Chain A
Amino acid sequence: DAGITQSPRHKVTETGTPVTLRCHQTENHRYMYWYRQDPGHGLRLIHYSYGVKDTDKGEVSDGYSVSRSKTEDFLLTLESATSSQTSVYFCAISVTAGTDTQYFGPGTRLTVL
């Protein structure tokens, strides 16, 4: 399972509140990613990181920020949650040897009321 955990696994919050989701990996992989999954859209990339303090925007980054102060942790923050951010969020890491394959965490189901 590539040693990826996400916390919390489920969260219900109210519109306008800040929310931080955590992704933790145990194997010191350089590349980490945050996706959201919505019906009919598959997975869409929010932000990604290519090293400590090195991050960049993905396809759907508006309303989200990220931080990576340690190799093992990649945080996704919704500064002021909106109902359109209700989704399932997945973290992934990329194993860079050979096939560039991404491995996924178990996901966080976020509901914004």
Chain B
Amino acid sequence: GEDVEQSLFLSVREGDSSVINCTYTDSSSTYLYWYKQEPGAGLQLLTYIFSNMDMKQDQRLTVLLNKKDKHLSLRIADTQTGDSAIYFCAETLPGGYNKLIFGAGTRLAVHP
């Protein structure tokens, strides 16, 4: 069945770039998403990419999509302590109704 995999933990120094990786299985997904979750809060949509795009940039965020390898990445430039959170990638499930499947989440820790 469909699956989305992420590494569970990433530690970076403040000011460096962070790269969070994700692999997915359903090549028919129309959109792929990145969500951010801060402690005690719900998920907040960070960005998304349409499946016919290779790259999308939004201020400090860059999303790269490699459809051949079913690999999605999120790069955060100039990482700040406020970026410390859990980051989830998600893809649309087949069968309609806008259902999503999420990865387990990557906890990003930013240290001085």
A94: nearest chain-B partner, CB-CB = B98
Question: Is the Cβ of A42 less than 8 Å from the Cβ of B103?
Answer: yes
Question: Is the Cβ of A43 less than 8 Å from the Cβ of B97?
Answer: no
Measured between C-beta atoms, what is the minimum distance from A7 to chain B in Å? 14
Partner-binding segment picked from A11-19, A65-73, A79-87, A95-103: A95-103
Contacts A99-B31, A100-B31, A101-B33 given; indicate if A43 touches B43 (C-beta within 8 A): yes
A residues within 8 A CB of B31?
A: 99-101
A33: nearest chain-B partner, CB-CB = B99
Measured between C-beta atoms, what is the minimum distance from A50 to chain B in Å? 5
Residues 12-43 of B, flagged 1 when their CB comes within 8 A of A and 0 if not, give 00000000000000000011010100000111
Residue in A90, A92, A102, A103 with the greatest tally of chain B CB atoms within 10 Å: A102
Measured between C-beta atoms, what is the minimum distance from B46 to chain A in Å? 11
Question: Is the Cβ of B104 less than 8 Å from the Cβ of A90?
Answer: no
> B interface vs A, CB < 8 Å?
4, 8, 30-31, 33, 35, 41-45, 48, 50, 88, 92, 97-105
Which 9 pairs across A and B sit closest by C-beta, in order of nearness? A104-B42, A94-B98, A42-B102, A100-B98, A42-B104, A104-B43, A43-B102, A106-B42, A42-B105
> A interface vs B, CB < 8 Å?
31, 33, 40-45, 48, 50, 56, 58, 90, 92, 94, 96, 99-107
20 contacts across the A-B interface (CB closer than 8 A): A31-B97, A33-B99, A42-B88, A42-B102, A42-B105, A43-B43, A43-B88, A48-B97, A48-B99, A50-B97, A90-B42, A99-B31, A99-B48, A99-B50, A101-B31, A101-B33, A102-B98, A104-B35, A104-B43, A107-B42
